[in-house]
Structure formats: structure tokens, C-alpha cells
């Protein structure tokens, strides 16, 4: 490697100067865009920023908060920039720039291997003025996307060195160790690197089909495990939850739609021929360039027929290196369409195409220049002008747009919480992470599931409940829980705080001797008392005032009731009437309870949004032998189901 670098430095000084200049322009351009995006951080960016702030305090996390995939390398790299320049949106974007530099250098080396130094220098300028969609991934922290480009392109270069470089055995071993380590880091960071893995794996096996059996493969494997060590340590400790996630992510739906989206929209977008709204850039020019791209790819595929034939015969050294770029595109589309089908489509899942796009365009530019300098220069300047116009429009939109992913004014929410003395609370995922970041953790908001912020690291107490105006109200729910509360409003939000438990100590009563009667579906009534929350008594949503009557067997002091819904969390009541009787003949009203936004009270009497899978109705102590529960209203979409019925008494 050192010999090749020395040769490059001696013979290609002007091209390296062009690379350095293009990187400098690319850095300046991305910083310019970062200032336009200042104040526009959203949930994913805020999470990365918070993780970087925790890293400065010595806290390390294997994965992105709330997930068992996507490693935490990005915030670890951002953390030193925060320490040096201070915590801000701009610094967060600047902390991603090392990955752009690595990508630019690796791309130069890949294109140089495929088409010489002129094409390599052109690739630097194409990347510096990359299409807005690629720029966006490189300035907005989202969790491993810009690293995917850097690591994947580096892997491609190292692999082409091994397969087409004629390396000595000693040097080849070093390259394989480097491939293993970089692949490990990439595997931990973001699995969008898999298309690169596919190309690297095929090339290395064709280079030496016995490689997995050779001692140097063990060294590469150990380096891979070292690079991905946080991934394996976490999964060994927690029972490999990452792979459970993968099982739930796979599916068979939408493959045709996914393939169509990848070919017709995502690839032109990554080449810069569609804009961020996935419309043709500037109308007919974008359409014409897309058609020209399709024609050019077809000509290239056919023109390299000898390389394809050699590849099929296993004669890798006889193939042109550009075949690796075409295979990368095919692998990316294949994995996206057949490995990750889904209900919606996003181009960032095809981001590895950006490596092939910049490389192929640079090679095309060099090919044109070799035949006509004027034609080559005109084509490249025209393409860069198209990118430049898109970037200028992109910056205007960044500067004028609102913060994405929020409904109300999160900045006002943060200020209100600070003024009100609210230290902790629950909010929507986007609102919670952005607010926590904006207040620099002077206010800590967990999302409703409590899974995104490590609340165990703080004294999370006396939380507020913060709802968007579009959410269901929590008034009825808190009233059903017997809580006292105050509500304040700011544009876009309702803030419940303080929320106070009624102070009554409660505990479940023993169920021995209980009997239950129902107004319909009596055959399943006993399932509410069988001790199995996965068996249900249920009535259709259209049932009118279905009732459950519970006989406790003897008069007892009761303080509340709990309906365990098991896995049927949607099958609860919207409005319920509770009545009590001491003799079975005379009934008195206990409470009419409503249920809106799902909240609970934890054992310490504090509100929580972490769901227990059921509904509580709490009330002051009263004597009763029988209780009658009548559903007055359902949620309109689901049946009323009860897995287990429990009554609370004095604690």
C-alpha cells in the first residue's frame, strides 16, 4: 500500500492537488449548508446529539437509543467536536465531515483503479458538488448513513487492490486484515453496508475460492470481530435481540413495487437527476438525463460482455474493475427489493448506489475528455452546474423550512417547560428528543414507551405528560386513575402537570371464591378469572351496554378495578360505568370512567406511559360484595375484551 501511495504522490501530483481542492470546496459547501440547517434538528439528529453529549461524560452505548441495531460510532465521532466547538446543530453537522473526507479519498482510489487519475480527480469534484440527497445524508446526523458510504467505498478499494493489484502475499494478508476490521466497524454501524459486503465476498471468493480455509481468513475474521465487538458483546449479554428484530423485519410484500421504486426513482435521485421531491430535476433536463443514464448503463453492460463472461468463468483478473461498480448497483437494488420489502420506500436504503453513481459519472467524463476535451469539459461543467443549482435551491429550502417531524413549536415547548420548573416528562418521540436536546438536558423528556432516553441514568420523578393537540385527551384517563392534575396549553401542546396520586394504598384482592356473570357470551365468562391473561372474554364492538357482574363471595373493601387486556391492547373501553352492591339487589353508582390517552400510575404514584397492557379505574375505598361493570362506549373500531379481571383493595 505504501509503495502505491508513494507512486501516486510522485506521478499524480496535479490530480492529488485537484482532489485536495475538491475536498476543500466540498467541506466549505457542507458547512454552508449546515448553517442553513441550524435550528432544524429533528428527532434522529437530536438523539445523536444527546448520545454525543453522554459520550463526553464517559457514557457508551452499543446501539442507537431504543434500538438493537445501528451502532453508536456516529455520536462517538461527534463528541470531540462538541467538546472543542460546543454543542450546536452546526457542530453536529461538522462532526460528520470526517466521513465525507474518507469517502472522497476512498472514491478517488476506487475510480483511479477503474479508470485512471483523471477520472479519479473528476470524481472528487462530482462528490464535492454531490446531488442534494447525498449532501443531506452527509450533513444531517441520522445514524450511520454517511459512514456507510465511507466504509463501503473503502472496502471496495481494498478488495480491488487484492483482486486486481497483483499484491505480494505479505501485503495481501495486511489488506485482508484491513478488510476484516473495516467490515466489522461497518457491520456494527449500519447494515446498509450489505451490498458492499456482497461484492467484496464474491470478489474475494473468485480471487481465491479456498480463502475461507486458509489461515489468513482467520486473521480477517478476528479483525472483523474486533471491529464489531460492541455488537457481539451487547447481543451475548441480552440474548441476541438484534436477530429477533431481523426476523420481524423480513417479509414478502411489495417486492415488485420496491424494485420499481429503486429503478425508476431512487437511482435517478442518487445520480442527481431527480430532486428531493423525487420529481425530475428542472423538468425535461432531469428526464432527458435519466433516459441517457438508462441508455448508458445498457451500453456499458453490453460493452463489458467479455468481463461478464470472464466473471461467470471465475477468471476475475480478466474482468474490468468497473464490473464491481455495476455489481454494487445490482446488489443494492436486489437487497432493497427482495431483502427489505416494506409498505413505504425511502431512497436512503439504496445509498450505496451513490458510490457507483459518482464513479460511473467520473469514468464517463474521463472517457468523453479523452475523445474531445471540449465535449468532456462541457458535459462535466453542465452536470456540475445542474448539481450547483439544485444545491442552491436545497439551501434556500433548508433556511426557510420549519423543523421537521414536529406538530407544535418545540422551541416554545422547551422554553415553557424551563419557565414552569418541569424537570421530567413524557412526550411524543420527536418532541421528547428535540426538547431534551434544546434544553441541554435541563429538561429530560422520555418518549411514551420510555425506550429512547436512558431514564435510569437520571432521577426521573414527578413527570409531566405532554400531548400534541392531535392526540386524544388524557383528562378522562387521569380521572379514571383518581389523580388530581392541572392542564396548561401552548400552541400545539397540552401539558399535564402536576399530576398527583390520591394517596390510597392499594393491592389486588385474592380471587378465591369469585364468580362472574355476563350479559352475553357467557361460555367464556370464566376466562376472566382463570389466571391466564392470554384467554379472553369478548363481546363485539356493536354490542349495546354489555355488562359484567362480579361476585366477590363476601363483602370486602374495594378501591379499584383492573382490566388486563393481554395482547389485545386496543380492546378496551372508552367509557365505563361501575356500580357496587352489598346485597345483590340494591346498586349504587361508584364511578363513570372514561379512557382517552393511555397512561398509568406506577407503584410510586407517578404517571407513566409505559403500558401494562390494561386499564385501571381507581376510586376511594368502599364496601361491596358485588361489582357491575357496564361498557357505555367503545373506541368504535375494536371489540371489548378482558383477559383477566382484578379488583383492588386496601394496600
Per residue in 59-98, pLDDT (tens digit) is 999 999 988 889 999 999 999 999 999 999 999 999 999 9
Q: For residue 103, what pLDDT is reported?
A: 98
Q: For residue 406, what pLDDT is reported?
A: 64
pLDDT at residue 1 greater than cutoff 60: no
Q: How many CA atoms lie within 13 A of 639 on its CB side?
A: 12
Q: Please compute the mean of the pLDDT values over residues 6-17 and round it to a whole number.
A: 79
CATH number at residue 636: 2.60.120.260
557's enclosing H/E stretch is strand 547-564
Q: For residue 6, what pLDDT is reported?
A: 67
405 assigned to some structural domain: no
Q: For residue 173, what pLDDT is reported?
A: 95
1 assigned to some structural domain: no
State how far the Cα of 268 lies from the Cα of 265, in Å rounded to an integer.
6
Query: Do residues 487 and 519 both lie within one domain?
Result: no
The answer to whether the peptide bond before residue 498 is cis (omega within 30 degrees of 0) is yes
> How many structural domains compose the chain?
3
- 30-34, 38-42, 159-163, 235-239 — which is least confidently predicted? 38-42
Expressed as residue numbers, the domain containing 545 is 506-650
Write out the E strands in 202-349.
Answer: none
Q: Please compute the mean of the pLDDT values over residues 247-271 and round it to a whole number.
A: 80
Query: Do residues 43 and 99 both lie within one domain?
Result: yes
Query: Do residues 274 and 375 both lie within one domain?
Result: yes
- pLDDT band at 403, cuts 50/70/90? confident
Cell of 189: 454501524
Choosing from 451, 472, 500, the residue where a domain stops is: 500
Query: Do residues 231 and 351 both lie within one domain?
Result: yes
pLDDT at residue 159 greater than cutoff 80: yes
Q: Please compute the mean of the pLDDT values over residues 366-389 and round it to a whole number.
A: 95
pLDDT at residue 611 greater than cutoff 90: no
246 assigned to some structural domain: no
Q: For residue 271, what pLDDT is reported?
A: 97
Mapped onto helix, strand or coil, the DSSP state of residue 519 is coil
584 assigned to some structural domain: yes
Query: Do residues 535 and 457 both lie within one domain?
Result: no
Mean of the per-residue pLDDT values of the chain: 92
Say which DSSP state 339 is in: I
Query: Do residues 419 and 525 both lie within one domain?
Result: no
Query: Do residues 465 and 380 both lie within one domain?
Result: no
State how far the Cα of 617 lies from the Cα of 556, in Å rounded to an integer.
17
Q: For residue 147, what pLDDT is reported?
A: 97
Q: Please compute the mean of the pLDDT values over residues 303-325 and round it to a whole number.
A: 95
pLDDT at residue 250 greater than cutoff 50: no
Q: CA 366, 369, 371 angle in degrees (round to 5)?
A: 115
State how far the Cα of 534 lies from the Cα of 191, in Å rounded to an integer.
36
70 assigned to some structural domain: yes
639 assigned to some structural domain: yes
Choosing from 500, 521, 551, the residue where a domain stops is: 500
Give how far the C-alpha of residue 130 lies from the chain's centroid of Cα atoms, to the nearest Å.
Answer: 24
DSSP per residue, 587-634:
EEEEEEEE--S--EE-TTS-EE-S--SEEEEEEEEEEEEEEEEEEEEE
Q: Please compute the mean of the pLDDT values over residues 98-123 and round it to a whole number.
A: 97
Query: Do residues 337 and 452 both lie within one domain?
Result: no
Q: For residue 74, what pLDDT is reported?
A: 97
415 assigned to some structural domain: yes
Mapped onto helix, strand or coil, the DSSP state of residue 313 is coil
pLDDT at residue 350 greater than cutoff 80: yes
Q: CA 211, 215, 220 angle in degrees (round to 5)?
A: 75
Separation in Å, CA 422 to CA 418, 496, 500, 580 = 6, 10, 14, 39
Choosing from 470, 500, 530, the residue where a domain stops is: 500
- 179-183, 243-247, 491-495, 620-624 — which is least confidently predicted? 243-247
pLDDT digits over 543-576, tens only? 999 999 999 999 999 999 999 998 888 899 999 9
pLDDT at residue 248 greater than cutoff 80: no
pLDDT digits over 494-551, tens only? 999 999 998 899 999 999 999 999 999 999 999 999 999 999 999 998 899 999 999 9
249 assigned to some structural domain: no
pTM for this entry? 0.89
Query: Do residues 34 and 107 both lie within one domain?
Result: yes
> What burial class does residue 22 get, using C-beta atoms within 10 Å of its C-beta: 0-12 exposed, 13-18 middle, 19+ buried?
buried
- pLDDT band at 8, cuts 50/70/90? low
Give how far the C-alpha of residue 486 lies from the chain's centroid of Cα atoms, to the nearest Å.
Answer: 35
Query: Do residues 449 and 577 both lie within one domain?
Result: no
404's enclosing H/E stretch is none
Task: Report yes or no: 642 and 539 within 8 Å, Cβ to Cβ.
Answer: no
Mapped onto helix, strand or coil, the DSSP state of residue 572 is coil
Query: Do residues 298 and 385 both lie within one domain?
Result: yes
Task: Report yes or no: 435 and 425 within 8 Å, Cβ to Cβ.
Answer: no
- 398-412, 433-447, 455-469 — which is least confidently predicted? 398-412
Mapped onto helix, strand or coil, the DSSP state of residue 466 is strand
Q: What percent of the chain has pLDDT over 90?
A: 81
- pLDDT band at 470, cuts 50/70/90? confident
Query: Do residues 486 and 524 both lie within one domain?
Result: no
Q: How many CA atoms lie within 13 A of 481 on its CB side?
A: 28
State how far the Cα of 121 lies from the Cα of 108, in Å rounded to an integer.
7
State how far the Cα of 206 lies from the Cα of 345, in Å rounded to an integer.
33
Q: What percent of the chain has pLDDT over 70?
A: 95
| Radius of gyration in angstroms for the set of CA atoms belonging to the chain, rounded to a whole number | 31
Q: Please compute the mean of the pLDDT values over residues 358-385 and round it to a whole number.
A: 96
pLDDT at residue 7 greater than cutoff 90: no
Nearest to 490 by CA among 416, 391, 425, 551: 416
Q: Cell 420549519, residue?
A: 402
Angle in degrees, 0-180, between the axes of helices 429-438 and 43-56, rounded to the nearest 10? 40
Amino acid at each position: 500500500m505504501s509503495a502505491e501511495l508513494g507512486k501516486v504522490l510522485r506521478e499524480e501530483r496535479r490530480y492529488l492537488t485537484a482532489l485536495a481542492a475538491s475536498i476543500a470546496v466540498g467541506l466549505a459547501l457542507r458547512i454552508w449548508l449546515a448553517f442553513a440547517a441550524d435550528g432544524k434538528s429533528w428527532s434522529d439528529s437530536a438523539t445523536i446529539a444527546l448520545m454525543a453529549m453522554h459520550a463526553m461524560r464517559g457514557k457508551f452505548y452499543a446501539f442507537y437509543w431504543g434500538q438493537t441495531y445501528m451502532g453508536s460510532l456516529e455520536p462517538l465521532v461527534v463528541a470531540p467536536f462538541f467538546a472543542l466547538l460546543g454543542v450546536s446543530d452546526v457542530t453536529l453537522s461538522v462532526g460528520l465531515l470526517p466521513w465525507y473526507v474518507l469517502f472522497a479519498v476512498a472514491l478517488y482510489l476506487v475510480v483511479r483503479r477503474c479508470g485512471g487519475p483523471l477520472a479519479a480527480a473528476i470524481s472528487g469534484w462530482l462528490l464535492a458538488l454531490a446531488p442534494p440527497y447525498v449532501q443531506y445524508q452527509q450533513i444531517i446526523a441520522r445514524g450511520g448513513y454517511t459512514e456507510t458510504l465511507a466504509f463501503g467505498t473503502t472496502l471496495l478499494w481494498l478488495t480491488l487492490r487484492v483482486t486486481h493489484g497483483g499484491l505480494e502475499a505479505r501485503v495481501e494478508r495486511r489488506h485482508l486484515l484491513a478488510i476484516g476490521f473495516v467490515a466489522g466497524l461497518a457491520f456494527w454501524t449500519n447494515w446498509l453496508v450489505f451490498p458492499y459486503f456482497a461484492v467484496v465476498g464474491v470478489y474475494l471468493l473468485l480471487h481465491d475460492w479456498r480463502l475461507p480455509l486458509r489461515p489468513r481468513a482467520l486473521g480477517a475474521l478476528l479483525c472483523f470481530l474486533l471491529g464489531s465487538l460492541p455488537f457481539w458483546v451487547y447481543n451475548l449479554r441480552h440474548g441476541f435481540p438484534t436477530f429477533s428484530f431481523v426476523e420481524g423485519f423480513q417479509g414478502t410484500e411489495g417486492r415488485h413495487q420496491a424494485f420499481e421504486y429503486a429503478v425508476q426513482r431512487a437511482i435517478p435521485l442518487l445520480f442527481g437527476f431527480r430532486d428531493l421531491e423525487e420529481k425530475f430535476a428542472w423538468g425535461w433536463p432531469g428526464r432527458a438525463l435519466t433516459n441517457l443514464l438508462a441508455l448508458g448503463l445498457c451500453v456499458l453492460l453490453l460493452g463489458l460482455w467479455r468481463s461478464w463472461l470472464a466473471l461467470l468463468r471465475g477468471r476475475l483478473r480478466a474482468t474490468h474493475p468497473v464490473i464491481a461498480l455495476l455489481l454494487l448497483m445490482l446488489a443494492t437494488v436486489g437487497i432493497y427489493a427482495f431483502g427489505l420489502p416494506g409498505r413505504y420506500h425511502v431512497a436512503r436504503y439504496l445509498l450505496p448506489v451513490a458510490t457507483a453513481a459518482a464513479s460511473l459519472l467520473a469514468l464517463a467524463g474521463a472517457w468523453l475528455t479523452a475523445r474531445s476535451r471540449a465535449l468532456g469539459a462541457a458535459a462535466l461543467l453542465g452536470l456540475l452546474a445542474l448539481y450547483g443549482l439544485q444545491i442552491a435551491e436545497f439551501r434556500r429550502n433548508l433556511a426557510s423550512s420549519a423543523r421537521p417531524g414536529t406538530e407544535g413549536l418545540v422551541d416554545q415547548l422547551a422554553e415553557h417547560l424551563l419557565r414552569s420548573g418541569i424537570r421530567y416528562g413524557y412526550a411524543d418521540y420527536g418532541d421528547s428528543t428535540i426538547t431534551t436536546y434544546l434544553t441541554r438536558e435541563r429538561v429530560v423528556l422520555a418518549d411514551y414507551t420510555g425506550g429512547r432516553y436512558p431514564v435510569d441514568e437520571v432521577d426521573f420523578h414527578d413527570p409531566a405528560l405532554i400531548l400534541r393537540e392531535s392526540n386524544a385527551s388524557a383528562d378522562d384517563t387521569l380521572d379514571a386513575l383518581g389523580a388530581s392534575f392541572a392542564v396548561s396549553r401552548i400552541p400545539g401542546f397540552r401539558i399535564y402537570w402536576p399530576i398527583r396520586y390520591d394517596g390510597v394504598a392499594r393491592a389486588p384482592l385474592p380471587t378465591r371464591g369469585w364468580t362472574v356473570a355476563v350479559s352475553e357470551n357467557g361460555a367464556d365468562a370464566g376466562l376472566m378469572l382463570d389466571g391466564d391473561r392470554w384467554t379472553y372474554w369478548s363481546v363485539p364492538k356493536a354490542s349495546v351496554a354489555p355488562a359484567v357482574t362480579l361476585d366477590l363471595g363476601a363483602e370486602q373493601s374495594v378501591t379499584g378495578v383492573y382490566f388486563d387486556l393481554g395482547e389485545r391492547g386496543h380492546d378496551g373501553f372508552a367509557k365505563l360505568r361501575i356500580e357496587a352492591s352489598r346485597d345483590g339487589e340494591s346498586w349504587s353508582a361508584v364511578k363513570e370512567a372514561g379512557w382517552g390517552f393511555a397512561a398509568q400510575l406506577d407503584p410510586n404514584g407517578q404517571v407513566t406511559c409505559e403500558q401494562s397492557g390494561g386499564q385501571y379505574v381507581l376510586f376511594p375505598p368502599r364496601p361491596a360484595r358485588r361489582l357491575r361493570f357496564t361498557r357505555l362506549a367503545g373506541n368504535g373500531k375494536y371489540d371489548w375484551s378482558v383477559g383477566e379481571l382484578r379488583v383492588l383493595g386496601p394496600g
